[in-house]
Structure 1
C-alpha cells in the first residue's frame, strides 16, 4: 500500500459523542414510546436529509404536516440538539492533536448539518484545529457516496491512495475504500493508534 500522507477523521462517535436519547429520555420518559417516536417520526432517514443540506425549518415543517400532534417533540429535536453531543472522547482528541503536532496532514470529513456543525465548533474548539473539514450539509453530499470522498480529496488536494480515513461506521469505511482511499474502522483511540502505526504513520 502507498505511504500515508493524509489522515482524515470522521467526527461523530470518533471525536464527539452523539445520542438523541440524552434529551429525549427526559422529554419522552417511556422507553417504548420514545423508541416508536424515533422509528416513525424523527427517524434516522429524516435526520440524514439535514446532513445532506435540508434546512431545519423545512425538515420540521415536513414532519409537522405529517404528525401535527407531535409538533412539540419534533421541534425539540433541534432545540435540544446540543444535549445530544454531550461530550468529546478525550483520548481520541489527544491522538488527533498529537498527529497535528507531529506535522501530519489532518483534515475531517463528516456527515453533519451545516447549522449544527457551526454550533458544534463553538462547543468543541478542537474541531477548528485541523487543516480543514468537509461538512456534508455544505456540499449536499453524504457518506458513503463516493462523490463526497472525491470532493474532499479534490478540495484538499489529497492523493486518495496515500489517504487514510477513520470512521466508526463500516459502510463509510467501505465507501472510502471504494473511492481509492485506505481506511480504518474506528473502535477506540488505542486501537486507532496501533492501526496508524501499522500503516507507518509516525507521531
Structure 2
C-alpha cells in the first residue's frame, strides 16, 4: 500500500473490531458445535453477515434475535447465545495494538474511532475493556444509523469533533472502509498486523522509533 499524498496527519482514527479488539463469533460457536461445517452453515445462513449488518445499522438486538428464532426455531439455543454470550465472541484486546494506542496517548496524538458495532453490544464491550477510555471521541454505527464505508459516517466524525479530513489517518482492516475514508479526503491505512501499523505510524511521525521495530519494511 502506497503512502497517501499531502501533509502528514495529526489525528488517528481507529476501527475497533480486529484492529484493537479481536472479534470472531467462531470463538463462541466452537464451544457449541462439534461439526465445523454445521457451525459455518449456521454463521452463513442464520447469524449471518446480514444479521450483523442490521445490528450495525441500529436494529434492536432483541428484535433481531426473536425474528431469527421465529424463522429458525430448531436453532433457538444457538441464536440466543449470540446475545446472551456475546462477550465470548471476543478474546479481548490485541495487546500489541493496545500498546501502540497507549503510546499515541503519551505522545499527545488526538485519538478517535469509527466502528461498525451494535450500539447495545458496544456498551457491553466498553464496560468490559478499559482501552476505550483512550479515545477523545467514538462514532458507533448502531447509535447513528450509519455504517462504513458510506461517506456520512466519516463526515459525522469530522463535523461532531471539528476535525479536518486531511489531518486524519484512518486505520481499518477492511479495504472498503479505508477507501471510504480516502474518498472524503482522509489518509487511509489498511491494518494487517501490529508491526506494520507501528512502522506506518512511526513513518508519519506519530510515534517515536522503537528499538527492535523493522526500520525498512515494504508495504503490501
- In the superposition, the TM-score normalised over structure 2's length comes to 0.89
Match status 1:149 vs 2:154: yes
Equivalent in the alignment of 1:63: 68
Equivalent in the alignment of 1:91: 96
1:202 CA drift (Å): 4.4
1:200 CA drift (Å): 3.3
- C-alpha distance in structure 1 between counterparts of 2:98 and 2:151, whole Å: 27
Equivalent in the alignment of 1:133: 138
Match status 1:46 vs 2:46: no
- In the superposition, the TM-score normalised over structure 1's length comes to 0.96
Match status 1:196 vs 2:201: yes
**Given the alignment, which residue of 106, 109, 114 partners 1:109?**
114
Residues 109 and 85 (structure 1 numbering): CA distance in 2 closer, same or farther, change over 3 Å? same
SS in 2 for 1:142: coil
Equivalent in the alignment of 2:3: none
- C-alpha distance in structure 2 between counterparts of 1:28 and 1:197, whole Å: 43
- C-alpha distance in structure 2 between counterparts of 1:47 and 1:130, whole Å: 24
1:48 CA drift (Å): 1.6
1:193 CA drift (Å): 1.5
1:199 CA drift (Å): 2.5
In structure 2, runs of 5+ residues without a counterpart are 1-5, 209-220
User: How many residues end up aligned between the 2 structures?
Assistant: 203
**Given the alignment, which residue of 61, 84, 87 partners 1:82?**
87
- C-alpha distance in structure 2 between counterparts of 1:100 and 1:28, whole Å: 41
Match status 1:176 vs 2:176: no
1:139 CA drift (Å): 0.6
**Given the alignment, which residue of 124, 134, 138 partners 1:119?**
124
Contact 2:118–2:142, Cα closer than 8 Å, also in 1 = yes
- C-alpha distance in structure 2 between counterparts of 1:56 and 1:201, whole Å: 38
In structure 1, runs of 5+ residues without a counterpart are none
Q: In angstroms, what is the RMSD of aligned CA positions?
A: 1.2
**Given the alignment, which residue of 158, 162, 182 partners 2:167?**
162
1:3 CA drift (Å): 2.9
- C-alpha distance in structure 2 between counterparts of 1:154 and 1:106, whole Å: 15
1:197 CA drift (Å): 2.4
SS in 2 for 1:165: strand
CA shift digits 1:83-112 (9 cap, x unpaired):
111121111001011111111111111111
1:118 CA drift (Å): 0.9
**Given the alignment, which residue of 174, 189, 192 partners 1:187?**
192
CA shift digits 1:15-49 (9 cap, x unpaired):
11111111111112211111111111110121121
- C-alpha distance in structure 2 between counterparts of 1:154 and 1:189, whole Å: 29
Spell out structure 1 runs of 4+ moving beyond 4 A: none
1:58 CA drift (Å): 1.1
